[in-house]
Structure formats: structure tokens, C-alpha cells
Structure 1
Amino acid sequence: MEALHLRGKRHILLPLLALTGIFWINFFSRIILSPLIVPVQEAFSLSISRTGWLFLATSIGYSVALFCSGFVSCRLTHHKTVVLSLFTLGAALGMTGMSTCVWGMMAGLFLIGIGGGLYLGSGAASITEVVPVKHWGKAFALHETAPSVAFLAAPLVVEGVFLFGTWRTVFYLFAGVCFLVGLAYLSMGRAGRFAGQMPSLGNIKVIVRNPAFWILTVGFGLSIAMEIGVYNLLPLYLVHDFELARESANMLLSLSRVLGLIMLVGAGWLTDRLGVKAALILFVGSAGLSTIALGWGPLGWVVAMLFVQPVFVVCFFPAGFAALSTIAPAGMNDLAVSLCVTIGGIAGSGLLPLCMAAIADGIGFSYAFSLLGGVMLLCLPFFFRLRVARES
């Protein structure tokens, strides 16, 4: 009986850990530009506001691929879609590293977004296949450690590579990693060997008619902006407003993600303990307040908020994905995730960061962060009206 129990745990944990590792590679590829933005800005002579267009290119590619991923997974299966995501990322990273002009770099970043967007719907569907529903909160919390580890590792990897290479070397190295992991998962990956749900107008109507879907979509969009958008701007904020060296800014950027990573374990437990709705209310309110606080005060205060703000932002995502899984009809989990993160991703990782960069360039980073946090707080009452039903 104990042996069967251990085999059952391995049957759940091994695929979950594999998908978490792939998600880390996926997310790392999409955010690596952030700790590289200072040398890239210098290489292409970009203003702060124009750097926002580079991040927008990745966001558009990501959102397009995420929405269309159901058409791919229904033909290739979720397993092969994950493999395709890795191979596309590898080719796109290599192309970005070879770019000699801004337009070439934007094309490469757009394709990085395409590769990244192919993963999420299939990854989420694969998790819900292998993990019992009562453990979804903890499973998605583990899966969501991948972005936090990527946020932490990216600046350290960049500074390590700069010891022997340039910003282009970072893209080349990770292109190779994507190809190697893609080959490994193609031959050894077991989760997700079933077809996805073909997106159709009827299925989309079923999902978008639910008010909870739109509340969660707004929450995802703002949380993505607070996670990725703020992260993208932080190196420039620390270098331009506080005159820190690039190395010091990247070190702070990395260390500031440690608490968020630790708290993700507690976030999964808290989501299962309090319930999805109560957890979302707690995380949304705290994320809004801490994002406003990040933009004001002396360097010591800002450094403290660098550590506090990511804690509440990253905790939103396990609860958010768990909520999406409960409001989606059977067999439409991947479609609900794709729709929600597509719409939220366009705003959260593209349009909002672009607006934030323009505001920061015009009147200052403090106002950019305050506007984002204030909008999140204005949306908090809608989460009190959220209706989700957790299955047991």
C-alpha cells in the first residue's frame, strides 16, 4: 500500500516538476531583456519611452500565440505544443541575439512572445490532468515558483555572462538551453498527451458570459503589469533616479524576488485554506498599496518596497489560476486560461508597461507606479462580488 502511495506521488510530482522547469525557461526567455535593458538602451540609443516598445513586441507575440494555442494543441496534443514552444523560443532567442537594429530586435522579441504564448494553456491543462482538484491551489503555487525563480535568476545570470560575454551572449546561451530541453521533453515527457479544446465561438461565449471571467481578467492584467511591467522598469528607475550602477541595480532586482518565491508556498496553502475569493481579495488590495508605496521615498524606503511588493503580486497568480479552473466548464480549462491571459497579457505586459514608460519619461517613475497601484485598488470592490465554486 505504501509503495502504491509513493508511486502515486511520483506520478503527480514528476510531471509537475517537469512543467515547472519548462515554465521557468519560458518565463526567463520572456523577461531576460529587463536586466539587459541598460546596455541594450545604450547599444541602440533608445529613450526610456522607446524601450517600452521592445517589451510591447514580446507582449503582442505572447498574446497572439496564447489565444491561438488552442488551434495548435487540438491538432498536436498539449505535450507536443509544449515541445513546439521550446523550439520556437530557441530559434527566437538566437535571432534576437543576432539583431543589428531595433526593428530586427523587435522581430526577435515578437517571436520570443510567440514561443512563450504557446506554452501556458497546454501547461495548465497538463497540470489539471495529473493533479487531483483538491490540490490545485498547491500545484499552481509550485508551478508559479517558476516566474519568481526566473525573476531572481535573470539579473544574476546576466551579470555572470557579462564576465566573459556581452548581452548577445545571454540570448545565444539560452537558445541552446531551449533546444536541449525541448528534445528531452519530446522523448521523456508524459503529461498532456491529449488534444486541446478547439476554440470556437460557442465555447468562447460560454466563458465570456460569466462575470467572474472578466473580474479575473482585469486582475490578471493589472497583476501582470505589477509583476512584469514594474520589473521591466526597475533597472532604469534605480539607475536614472538613484544613480546606482547597473550591477548594483541588477543585484537588488534579483534579491528583491527572494521573499516572493518563499511566500508562494504559503500562497498555495492560504488559497486552499481561506478559499479562492478571500485569498484574491487579500492579495489584490495588498499588491495595489505596495505598488503605490514603491514609487515614493528615499532609496532605503524604495529598497524595502522592492522586497515587499513582489510578495503580494506573485501570490495573486496561484489563486487566480485556481479560480479560472473552477469557473471554466469541463474540458475548457486551457481555453479559459488562454482567453484570460491573452486579454490580460496584452494590457499587463504590453500596453500598461508602455504607458508606464511614457509616464516615467514625462513626469517620473513615481507617478507611473502610483497610477498602476491606484487602478488596482479601484478594482478591489469587484473581487468582493466574485463568484467561484471550488470542487472537492
Structure 2
Amino acid sequence: MGNPQPGGYAVESSPCKNTKQILAALFALTGIFWANFFARILLGPLIVPVQQTFAVSISQTGWLFLATSVGYSVSLFGSGCVSSRLTHHKTIVLSLVILSGALAITGMASCCAVMMAGLFLIGIGCGLYLGSGAASITEVVPTEHWGKAFALHEIAPSVALLTAPLMVEAVFLFGNWRTVFFLFAGVCCLMGISYGLFGRAGHFSGRSPNIGNIRIIARKPAFWILTMGFGLSIAMEIGVYNLLPLYFVHDFSLPREEANILLAVSRVLGLLALVGSGWLTDRLGVRLALILFVGCAGLTTIALGWGSLGWVTVMLFVQPIFVVCFFPAGFAALSLIAPSRMNDLAVSLCVTLGGIVGSGVLPLGLTHIADHLGFSWAFTLLGGTMIFCLPLFFRLKAD
């Protein structure tokens, strides 16, 4: 969920001398981002068999999601310190190596505590990539093509959301949930070795966060409005996505296989909407686009929790359209409100704070509500909170 639009990176002379080399580097980074996001959301399609293996309640599964979120947020915020001591290239390789080991540990987990440790390390590995990936793109892609390059890079999370349930079910034809983690650990290991040997981008150091710049950004009310929006939108995307298999299995008695296939297919419209969201944001303006996306995302999230299986299925396809469209408009707004050359820091702070709330704290709350009041009320409270915050976006000065 999202790419920083770089504004503070020192762009080095490109190591890629022709279009073929530029595209090869860009596709490599997009593939790594896909693997990165895939690892972050892999637990969602696996949560039903994991819950059965460890005999935990719905609310207890929330702590598993929180572990990944905390690791990701801590690592994302500190990634600048790592890349400033290594290089962006070595930081990306380190990210994949940590991911590989963490996925293997998670697959071997004999209890929830060990699994939480593995998921925390998955978050650590994922968080290291984003800043270095964005900086690497700015190095290899000419400035006039950054928009198209980041649009391609941004497709990776949506493709991961679509492919994760399908790949999980493919592995279940011959293995179990542990097999999924082991196989993907091997994939990340191979990607790390390949990028370490052949990756052309990112052979320069990053910058550590500057406390003075953080204070400048934190004083802006618009930053906190957008951070709140990101947190709620991430919860509506990743948080709801992770809970949907449990929702269909527990409330509608769907087999896990059918729930995961439905989950995967429902992401297609969101992927297509992402392509047109930039055009709509340009036509409406950033503020009006955010108001539209925030309001519709809140309403469809509420609607997702009520009605027959047929109605819920329709909302399952509609809700992601408005949620995914928030992110390009949100990043555009951050670029507009951030001081000169602080875009990357503003995005890093926003995604760090919004991520720990949206993919960790709020999903933990949703699982507790679902355990005691039902999934319908969990989705209603999440969507209602977004609508309650909608008036703040009318005051946003981002055009």
C-alpha cells in the first residue's frame, strides 16, 4: 500500500544505460515488492487452518496480525538508518534474507508465541524494503517517467492480494499451511540471491531521519488528517482482507477453499480501479477525490457486514474499489502538504503510523468485536468511524 513519491532522495546517475535495462530493473523491484507485500498478507488466507491448529479464538488471532504490523512499522521507520550504513541495494537484499528466515521460522512454529516471533520478523523484513525500493526507482528511471514507474510499482500490492489466496489453495492440493510458508521462504531466498548478484539499482547510501524535519511535518494538521485516513484505509484493505476468510467460514459456513477463491476474485475490480484512480483524482482535485473515496469506502465497509451471502458478495467486489483509490490520492495529498524535499519523510511517517494502527491495532480490535458482537458490528464500527471522520477532509487544504 503504497509507494513514497520521492522528494528528498539524492538521485545518482543511472546505472541503466538503455530502456531494456531500465525496464529490467523496474520489473525486478516490482517483483520484490510483490513478494514483500505477499509475505505481509499471507496469514489472511491461512488464518482458518492456523486457528484450527493452535485452537485459538477469533480475538486471539488478532495478536498474530498485530505482530507483523509492529515489526513492519518499526522497521519502516528505521530503514533509513540501515540504508545509510549499507546501501539501498544491500538493504533490499537484507530485507529478502530476513523474510526468508522469518517465513521458515513461522512455518516451523509449534505454538502461538513462536509464530508471533516469526510474524514479527516478517514485518521487520518487509519494512526494510519500501524506502530503498523507492530510492532505487528514482536512480534508474528518468525523472520525467517517475509517475509511470511508480504506477507500475504500485500494482504489486493489488496483485499480491489477488494471487495470495489462489496460491495458498494451490499449495493445499499437496501440502498444508506450513508448506506455504516453507515454499515462500525458498522463493524469497532465491530472489535475494538473484538481486544480490544481478541487481543494478540502489548502489548508494540512504539518509537517516532528521528529528528537526519530523517536527516540521508533525506540526501540520493536514498530516494528521491524512495519517488518520491512511490508518483507517489500511484497516479497510488489509484488516478486512485478513478477516474475510474467517467471516465467510464462521457466518456463512463456506468451505475455506471457496472463501479464499471468492476473496481472490473480489480483488480484480480494485486492481482495475487503481488504474483509473489517478485520472479521477486529477479531474476532481485531491480534496474532492479524497472526500468521495473516504465516504464511499466507509459506506461499503458497513454494507459488507449485513445481508445475505449474495449481497455480501456484491459488496465484497465493490468495497475494494473505493479503498484502493484512496492511496494514490492520499500520496498526492502528502506530496502537496509536505515541505520541499521532505516528501519521502512525510510518506514514511504517515505509512509507519497509519500502518501500525491500520494493519495491527484496528484489526486486533475488530477481532475482539467479532468474537463478542459478530463480524457485522466489527465492519459497521470500522466503516462508521471512517464516515465520522469525513468532515475533517472537507477542511483539508491539499489542492
- Give yes or no for the alignment of 1:375 onto 2:385: yes
- Give yes or no for the alignment of 1:354 onto 2:364: yes
Distance 2:334 2:146 in 1: 11
The structure 1 residue matched to 2:72, chosen from 47, 62, 75, is 62
Contact 1:197 1:334 in 2 (8 A): no
The alpha-carbon deviation at position 283 of structure 1 amounts to 1.6
Mark the runs of 5 or more structure 1 residues left unpaired by the alignment: 1-6
Q: Deviations over 1:238-295 (max 9, x none)?
A: 0000011111111111111111111111123333444433332222121111111101
Matches within 5 A, 1:194-233: 194-233=204-243
Contact 1:213 1:340 in 2 (8 A): yes
User: Match of 2:395?
Assistant: 385
Q: Structure 2 counterpart of 1:19, which letter?
A: L
Mark the CA change 1:28 to 1:376 in structure 2 (over 3 Å): closer, same or farther: same
The structure 2 residue matched to 1:322, chosen from 316, 332, 343, is 332
Distance 1:135 1:388 in 2: 23
Contact 1:137 1:268 in 2 (8 A): no
Distance 1:56 1:50 in 2: 10
The alpha-carbon deviation at position 368 of structure 1 amounts to 0.6
The alpha-carbon deviation at position 15 of structure 1 amounts to 3.5
The alpha-carbon deviation at position 94 of structure 1 amounts to 0.6
How many pairs were matched up? 384
User: Match of 2:61?
Assistant: 51
Q: Structure 2 counterpart of 1:259, which letter?
A: L
Q: Structure 1 counterpart of 2:215, which letter?
A: K
Mark the runs of 5 or more structure 2 residues left unpaired by the alignment: 1-16
User: Match of 2:7?
Assistant: none
Distance 1:281 1:138 in 2: 25
Distance 2:92 2:340 in 1: 21
Where 1:158 maps in the other structure, the secondary structure is helix
Where 1:207 maps in the other structure, the secondary structure is helix
Distance 1:388 1:128 in 2: 24
User: Match of 2:300?
Assistant: 290
Where 1:296 maps in the other structure, the secondary structure is coil
Distance 1:388 1:134 in 2: 23
The alpha-carbon deviation at position 193 of structure 1 amounts to 3.2
TM-score, normalised via structure 1 length: 0.92
Q: Structure 1 counterpart of 2:66, which letter?
A: L
Q: Structure 1 counterpart of 2:224, which letter?
A: W
* Structure 1 segments of 4+ aligned residues over 6 angstroms from their partners: none
Distance 2:26 2:283 in 1: 21
Q: Structure 1 counterpart of 2:353, which letter?
A: I
Distance 1:380 1:177 in 2: 42
Where 2:323 maps in the other structure, the secondary structure is helix
Contact 1:155 1:253 in 2 (8 A): yes
Distance 1:147 1:39 in 2: 24
Distance 1:249 1:276 in 2: 35
- Give yes or no for the alignment of 1:174 onto 2:174: no
Q: Deviations over 1:120-144 (max 9, x none)?
A: 2222333445556676555443322
Contact 1:28 1:147 in 2 (8 A): yes
Q: Structure 2 counterpart of 1:295, which letter?
A: G
Where 1:347 maps in the other structure, the secondary structure is helix
Distance 1:310 1:284 in 2: 12
Where 1:387 maps in the other structure, the secondary structure is coil
The alpha-carbon deviation at position 198 of structure 1 amounts to 1.2
User: Match of 2:351?
Assistant: 341
The alpha-carbon deviation at position 77 of structure 1 amounts to 2.5
Q: Deviations over 1:206-237 (max 9, x none)?
A: 22122222121111101110001101110010
User: Match of 2:14?
Assistant: none
User: Match of 1:259?
Assistant: 269
Mark the CA change 1:136 to 1:309 in structure 2 (over 3 Å): closer, same or farther: farther
The alpha-carbon deviation at position 308 of structure 1 amounts to 0.5
Q: Structure 2 counterpart of 1:163, which letter?
A: L
199-208 vs 379-388, greater mean Cα deviation: 379-388
Distance 2:380 2:199 in 1: 44
Percent sequence identity over matched residues?
A: 74
Distance 2:143 2:394 in 1: 24
- Give yes or no for the alignment of 1:307 onto 2:317: yes
Distance 1:383 1:9 in 2: 41
Q: Structure 1 counterpart of 2:89, which letter?
A: H
User: Match of 1:154?
Assistant: 164
Distance 1:199 1:183 in 2: 29
Q: Deviations over 1:93-134 (max 9, x none)?
A: 011011111100000000000011111222233344555667
For the aligned residues, what is the CA RMSD? Answer: 2.1
Mark the CA change 1:133 to 1:264 in structure 2 (over 3 Å): closer, same or farther: farther
Mark the CA change 1:73 to 1:173 in structure 2 (over 3 Å): closer, same or farther: same
The structure 1 residue matched to 2:125, chosen from 109, 112, 115, is 115
